[in-house]
Amino acid sequence: MSRPRLHEFLEKVFESKDNLPFLFEHDSFQEFCSDHSLNIPLKDLSLVFIHKSFSHEFGVPHQEQLEFLGDAVLQLILTEEIFLRFPLYQEGQLSKLRAAIVNETSLSTLARGLGLGELLILGKGEYQKRLFEQDVVLADTFEALLAQIYRHHGLLFTRSLFLNWLVQFLPHAFDKDFLEGFDAKSKLQERVLAKYKKLPKYESKVQGDQFFITLVVNDEAVLTGLFSSKKKGEKELAHQFLSQGHI
């Protein structure tokens, strides 16, 4: 797989800081704006993608303040949307549904769909570790992007664009099954505790870049799997066990 054009240029910046000013005006940022009908100055858009590791190396601002604002914008948009879609839901149900969407896994899925990892600007060590592929970094970057869209286009535009992205990359986000899949760990915990008077356990071993995870119920290993992260693996095993009707 060929490297994104911006990352090719980033490698030149590592070799010579003379290229630094041109990095933040890279064509990839302009193309992203054009693709999504955004009118954001390149200096502001590029800030969305500057990881703190790059900031520490090169002494430039980074994305973290935007993440803070973007989280608040995201919470507001989704709270209103869920409130309108589910008028009969109780507060606890609404909160769970919102949490199923405003989380690292869902936001990183949206970020991957938009190709945000290809625009991330990281320090040399983190770039070599391919930090631009990690869920937590992608999720944070998505929040920073939403903040900058809000600052330059306002809430109504941001809401419309975000909901369009949600339909495109997480089309089942508001489905009952999506919520049940997200809530599988807590649901399994409740059922196992009620039946066996003890909590389920998740045992994990590192295998290369992945985790071999075992779900233990009532001191018995009931399911295993190989996953890219512990969090994903535990949720998936809990969901599988519940869907098989064992408890």
Active-site residue, 35 included: no
Residues 52 and 92 placed together within one structural domain of the fold? yes
Range of the domain at 104: 5-174
pTM of the predicted structure, to 2 decimals: 0.77
Residues 120 and 220 placed together within one structural domain of the fold? no
- The β-bridge partners of 199 are none
Identify whether the C-beta of residue 96 lies closer than 8 Å to the C-beta of residue 183.
yes
Residues 201 and 148 placed together within one structural domain of the fold? no
Q: pLDDT of 76-86, one tens digit each?
A: 999 999 999 99
User: pLDDT-based confidence at 92, cuts 50/70/90?
Assistant: confident
Residue 195: CATH number of its domain = 3.30.160.20
71, 104, 140, 234: the active-site residue: 71
End-of-domain residue from the set 149, 174, 199 = 174
End-of-domain residue from the set 150, 174, 198 = 174
Residues 41 and 152 placed together within one structural domain of the fold? yes
Residues 145 and 25 placed together within one structural domain of the fold? yes
104, 126, 143, 236: the active-site residue: 143
Active-site residue, 71 included: yes
Looking only at Cα atoms, what is the longest distance across the chain? 65
User: pLDDT-based confidence at 180, cuts 50/70/90?
Assistant: low
Residues 219 and 100 placed together within one structural domain of the fold? no
Residues 70 and 164 placed together within one structural domain of the fold? yes
Identify each DSSP E strand in the chain by its residue range.
201-207, 210-217, 220-227
Q: What angle do CA 239, 234, 170 make, to 5 degrees?
A: 60
Q: Does 179 fall in a domain? A: no
Say yes or no to pLDDT of 2 above 90.
no
